[in-house]
Structure 1
Amino acid sequence: MARPALKKLATGPPDAKEEIIRLCSRGHLKDALHHRFRDGLWSEPGLFSHIFRACRALPLLGQLHAFAATSGAAADRFTANHLLLAYADLGDFANARKLFERIPRRNVMSWNILIGGYIKNGDLETARKLFDEMPARNVATWNAMVTGLTNSGLNEESLGFFLAMRREGMQPDEFGLGSLFRCCAALRDVVSGQQVHAYVVRSGLDRDMCVGSSMAHMYMRCGFLGDGEAVLRALPSLNIVSCNTIIAGRTQNGDSEGALHYFCMIRGAGMEVNAVTFVSAITSCSDLAALAQGQQVHAQAIKAGVDKVEPVMTSLVHMYSRCGCLGDSERVFFGYNGTDLVVCSAMISAYGFHGHGQKAVDLFKQMMAGGAEPNEITFLTLLYACSHSGLKDEGMECFEIMTKTCGLQPSVKHYTCLVDLLGRLGHLNEAEALILSMPMRPDAIIWKTLLSACKNRKNFDMAERISERVIELDPYDSASYVLLSNIRATSSRWEDVSMLRETMRKHNVRKEPGVSWVEFKGKVHQFCTGDKSHARQQEIDECLEEMMAKIRQCGYAPDMSMVFHDMEDEEKEVSLTHHSEKLAIAFAFLSLPEGVPIRIMKNLRVCDDCHVAIKLMSKLFGLLSFHPVIWHETECSGVQRVVSLYGLSPGSVGN
């Protein structure tokens, strides 16, 4: 007898209250209201909270408010707080404030809801005023303020709130601690991060997955990759969030090979990765110019169904561009039907990277005609494209559109692009006047950009004057000393060169060695100038000697001015012959099968001698599509190094 009764109970009609709650949770507000009217349940105040949460239209919310007031449910503080939350979520702060003032016996939750609403709406000033007026606060109140300040970029104020919170005896929970670690990461403040870490250990939260991942992210963003990974290894288990933290951390700290190795490892272990994982993996392929691996990751992203996610598409456009495959960047971009500014900016940057400034300008105009509202990043990529294509009129026009039409405030980076544009065209005095007219203080990078232009244009008097400003602003940056040393060496001022190098030794400033690398069979082969450590070095030297002999027959003459050391001409020629990019090309020529493009990456700007030599190699040996593209220090992504990319494929004449 019991079994039929159980069956009847299981298949019988659900309780009316439960049905209303179920419908509200699924967003079926109309059906929930129909149940409410039909069953006469308006006297149940608790159901209003579910109905308010499901409401997404202000006119309907006003009607529901009237029903709640008529039925007397609005007098219940619990119901009133949920109504307040609905108004705040919909951004109707006029009615929210009126309701707030009428709530009987307001509690901390009432204050927190209103403060959270203002923070979500970006009105931190009003939120702070309410915070100061509160008669009592709890952990959620402090967490809301700390998170709001961190999300708005007010990281120092966020740290101040944490200290004030501790002075009042409040114990932050895992949500507040996560925001604090993000704050320290943004500030690159590892000392404050370590202090918060010590508090976490004392509180016993160091094994919490959320806190541990945030803590590891902080260490990695501050450059302490080993400490970050140690934090993650101490957690009870690894999930996709912590794995993403490891991959992103290795990518950000220059260990792109390690990031790809870890990506392959978690894929091999069967862990289900997400779009964030693919973005970091694709970025690592981009940094290494590892096209084959990038194509594999792209295929995996398609299989996982995330290839149309905007951050993934942005990374793919950037990766293919860095690998010399502008056509593939275009295919990814034009397969995208959205209007995301970041994706469009990536394509504009790709055109600029390959010297197609006019295409970048045309794409920008299409965006504007389609109603897009460009932001500061869009204009930065556009100015970068104009500077690398020598489009002065277009660059100045874009800058005017940015400041006057769009009303955006340019940063030092925007001015740096303009200075680079003017410097490339030889307008050095105009570039210097622009720097001096800036509404903000110039930084070392913008002066270094002008100094580089002075070197290229052989204006040594201006270069000496500009170098003083650069070294004064950044006395420990090797690039400034190297530029000035090269300028003096070009004029054969060897005593001044020696004095400058002595100054570098006193300040413990070391020049970054030039490194070129090429991908072969999934492995990255690196070469340094004059390096003899490669396993195939003898073959490389013989191949390179043969290549150099043949291009001499075609008119090549070593540019001795590119050797900035006082030595005999014969020694200078040997030094030029064994520059890292020439070694890498010789290795690639020996190793890669015919018809496979040769792509060489370098961490420093290519010298003029290598530029000419590789053009002749391209013509003579049929290494095709030679197009050097300079990744300048003013590049919009914030990368502070200069990278040269060669896309060389056998079968066509180079530039």
Structure 2
Amino acid sequence: MRTRVPPLISNGKAVMFPLKTFRPHATSRGSSSWKSMLFRLIEDHQVDEANRLFARIPSPSIQLYTMMINGYSRINRVDQAFRLFDKMPARDTAAWNSMIKTALGIGELDLAWKLFDEMPEQNVISWTTMINGLSQFDQIDAAEDLFLRMPERDTAAWNAMISAYCDSGRVKDACRLFEKMPQPNVISWTALIGGHDQNGQSDRALWLFYQLWMSGMKLTPSTYACVLTACANASELGLGTQLHSNLVRRGYSSDSFVSTSLVNLYAKCKQIEDSIKVFNEKQERDVVSWTALVTGYGMNDMHDNALEEFNKMVAFGIQPNQSTFSSALNSCCGLEALDRGKKIHVTTVKLGLDLDVFVGNSLIVMYSKCGDIDDSLVLFNSMDRRNLVTWNTIIVGCAQNGYTSLALKIFDAMRELNVQPDSITYTGLLTACSHSKMLGRGRHIFHLLQHDSEVAMKLEHFVCMVDILGRCGQLEEAEELIQNMPMEPNTIIWLALLSACRMHANIEVARRTSKKVFEMEPDNSAAYVLLSNIYASAGRWNDVSQIRLMMRCRGIMKVPGSSWITLKETRHEFVCGDRSHPMAMEIYAKLDWLGVKLKELGYVYDTRFALHDVDDEQKEVALAHHSEKLAVAFGLISTVEGSTIRVIKNLRVCGDCHSAIKLISKLVGRRIVLRDSTRFHHFRDGLCSCGDCW
């Protein structure tokens, strides 16, 4: 008795294509003729026309049924594929295998298992399809068990298991299996090379390629593409260019995957002109190669070019995929271009990709990094499917935007759903606690991390904990934590402590800490500047002069503070006392007006942040013309009343400017978002999202 599999409701939408006129004149054709016509229509994606033809076929064969099922599956009309499968008068193994593949394609692993178990007879393709499916769902142990239970194995089955091991990071297991393999082919070698490269072992991947090359086995374009990617990741430009020449001679350079890998190679090795040349030489441009170019521009900080190329691609009629959107949105982050990011968001909605997990994660990152955390939260809440990256992205976004309590609540919800955190999760949580000076909760998170057997502690976790202790005034404890770490400290962790010394005016710990930094990096400009500022805040001008003299002798330059606003895709940048802007007269007039109004609200300049040995009046003049204030004044006169002003600063925001901008937000009734070198500050109604903890 035949088992009935109920039809499914498709989550996808039918892809519509223009239909060609096709009218068979007879119904008494041979099976090969029907097969040929069906095949042509399905290959042209004219599945509806193929179905009309199929309905005219008297007693269609099992093979024709299977062709139609595959046609529906390819355009994600899964419900119709299952209905057709259910109507089949008899089913062969190929039909069952097709339905298993269809179930896996829509993410229904349980249904795929059900079909596999109910098959009258499984062949090696059935087993291999399930192994690939289990790998797709990260169930590697189950895939391994299935592989070991296979009654017979062909090369494709061995290759599927090698790929499964590599995809899950179990490269050693993949190597052991490869060594046991009776007859590895070029696909086996390619899977192993790619597996090493994907898991951070690019040098080993290139060594394996050398072994393959010496074996004399004929290489495929896929192998070359894989090796070129390894060259890019290992920064082996020389080998990559040699392979490029070889590929041209063999006629492989026009292959889509090869040309895309070449674009990626040159971009990663900072040879973007060569990437453009390879791309322009490609006769048929597809989404993969165009995405590689958009990504390559982003890698080289040419974000305007990346977005221009993205727009060209859309205008050319090529539909972006998840990776394209991710790269374009990343360039929006690089430009702090929220408006352009919103336009791309609209495009994802039109294409029905806005709720795709990969695209959704990229959108959350874009909104968070552009200071619009509220829209990030809306997106997060609207996503039907979330993965660990989704949870990490929103937690880190909340941490950077001062939504510490919400970050911790999201973590609690994540644990309730049994989502295992990773090292990024803990880094985000500790950063949130640091930005809000939540010492108790920070200790608790750090304790959870220490006892989480699934996550290895990294140096960045200790940096965050030192930052928490330092901000909360526990400088000696922070210093002791550094000295007792299981790994060697670097300059970053000592600089975190030195920054805390400035915050708490602790000169003794600052001296010890700066000494550690100078032992590691004698020319570290950040340490000199921090130490100089600590002395300046304490009024020790002789020590300040000595530090500045040392910097001049060593040729160390202090990075000048600057702030900027981007309006209508144009960046307006300011430095302290800057009068070069075309609207300088209006900007300074606005600053004078603000100065009067702020004093009426009780504002007094905090001269501790004027780090020069001059009289108080000169200090006030310098503070009044800090780059942050200039940018805010420009924003007030250049944007619509009531709109949000967004300012970026390359250094930590000045304490006096922080106090002033809080009052300005109340005075003018505007929301002001300022991103400095460590976090976002959301000023509204005289308050800041950081709670004055930064």
- TM-score normalized by the length of structure 1: 0.82
Question: What is the match of residue 85 of structure 1?
Answer: 128
> Are 1:460 and 2:485 counterparts?
no
Secondary structure of the equivalent of 1:8? Answer: coil
For the structure 1 residues 418 and 567, does the alpha-carbon distance in structure 2 shift closer, same or farther, using more than 3 Å as the test? Answer: same
Measured after TM superposition, the shift of residue 143 of structure 1 is 0.4
Answering whether residue 526 of structure 2 is matched by residue 479 of structure 1, we say yes
Equivalent pair of 1:345/1:378 in contact (CA under 8 Å):
yes
SS at match of 2:320: coil
Match status 1:388 vs 2:435: yes
Change in 2 beyond 3 A, CA 1:561/1:371: same
Matching residue within 60, 67, 70 for 1:22: 67
Are the counterparts in 1 of residues 643 and 670 from structure 2 also a CA contact under 8 Å?
no
Alignment of 1:165 with 2:185, yes or no, is no
* Alignment-derived partner of residue 351 in structure 2: 304
Out of 17, 28, 31, the position equivalent to 1:8 is 28
Match of 1:548 in 2: 595
- 1:383 positional shift: 1.6
CA distance in 1, matches of 2:534, 2:160: 63
CA distance in 2, matches of 1:489, 1:184: 49
In 2: Cα distance, 1:170 partner to 1:481 partner: 58
Aligned partner of 1:214 among 247, 256, 261: 261
Q: CA deviation at 1:146?
A: 0.6
1:437 aligns with 2:502: no
1:526 and 2:576 correspond: no
- Indicate whether 1:418 and 2:465 are aligned: yes
Residues in 1 aligned to 2:623 and 2:366: alpha-carbon distance in whole angstroms: 30
Amino acid at match of 1:426: G
2:168 paired with 1:148: no
Q: Hey, what's the Cα distance between the residues in 1 that align with 2:243 and 2:500?
A: 45
Question: 1:194 Cα shift?
Answer: 4.6
SS at match of 2:420: coil
Structure 2 segments unaligned to the other structure (5+ residues): 1-22, 35-55, 102-111, 135-141, 689-694
Q: Which residue of 2 aligns with 1:75?
A: none
Show the 5 A alignment for 1:288-437.
Answer: 288-405=335-452, 407-437=454-484
Rounded to whole Å, the distance in 1 between the matches of 2:25 and 2:374 is: 69
For 2:185, the equivalent position in structure 1 comes to 138
Question: Could you tell me which amino acid in structure 2 is paired with residue 551 of structure 1?
Answer: L
Letter in 2 for 1:297: I
**Structure 1 runs not aligned, ≥5 long:** 39-46, 69-78, 631-641
Match of residue 668 from structure 2: 622
Structure 1 counterpart of 2:174: 127
Q: CA deviation at 1:365?
A: 1.0
Seen in structure 2, the aligned counterparts of structure 1 residues 197 and 419 have a Cα distance that, compared at 3 Å, is: farther
Query: CA offsets, 1:403-451, max 9 Å, x none?
Result: 3256421211222211111111111111122222222222322222112
Q: Structure 1 counterpart of 2:201, which letter?
A: L
| Shift in CA distance, 208/512, structure 1 to aligned 2, threshold 3 Å | farther
1:501 paired residue number? 551
Check 1:388–1:186 CA distance in 2 against 1; reply closer, same or farther (3 A cut): farther
In structure 2, relative to structure 1, the CA distance for the partners of 1:218 and 1:552 (3 Å cut) is farther
Deviation at 1:516, TM superposition (A): 1.6
Q: State whether residues 518 and 588 of structure 1, in contact with CA within 8 Å, keep that contact through their aligned partners in structure 2.
A: yes
CA offsets, 1:428-477, max 9 Å, x none? 11112222222222232222211211121112222222223334444565
Offset, 1:88:
4.1
SS of 2:421's equivalent in the other structure is: coil
Larger RCO, structure (CA 8 Å, separation 6 or more): 1
Q: Quote how far apart the aligned CAs of 1:283 are.
A: 3.1
Change (3 A) 1:158 1:424: same
Paired residue for 1:613, among 660, 664, 681? 660
2:641 corresponds to: 594
1:578 aligns with 2:621: no
Query: Does the residue aligned with 1:526 lie in a helix, a strand or coil?
Result: strand
In the TM superposition, what are the counterparts of 1:246-285 in structure 2 within 5 Å?
246-285=293-332
1:534 alignment partner, SS class? coil
Q: Does 1:450 align with 2:497?
A: yes
Give secondary structure in 1 for the equivalent of 2:460. Answer: helix
Q: Percent identity?
A: 32
Q: Residue 527 of structure 1: SS of its match in structure 2?
A: strand
CA distance in 1 between partners of 2:548 and 2:174 (Å) = 60
- Return the offset for 1:567: 5.8
1:599 alignment partner, SS class: strand
Q: Secondary structure at the match of 1:385?
A: helix
Q: 1:21, CA displacement in angstroms?
A: 4.2
Aligned-partner SS, 2:582: coil
Question: Residue 636 of structure 1 corresponds to which residue in structure 2?
Answer: none
Find the aligned partners of 1:54 and 1:266 in 2 and give their Cα distance: 35
Alpha-carbon distance in 2 for matches of 1:259, 1:598: 25
Determine if the alignment matches structure 1 residue 175 to structure 2 residue 222. Answer: yes
Counterpart code for 1:138? N
**CA contact 2:576–2:626 (8 Å) conserved in 1:** yes
Aligned pairs, number: 612
**Partner secondary structure for residue 250 of structure 1:** helix
Deviation of the 1:243 alpha carbon: 2.6
Q: Give distance in 1, aligned partners of 2:233 and 2:629.
A: 40
CA 415–172 in structure 1, closer or farther in 2 if over 3 Å, else same: farther
CA shift, 1:391, in A, is 1.4
- Secondary structure of 1:390's partner? coil
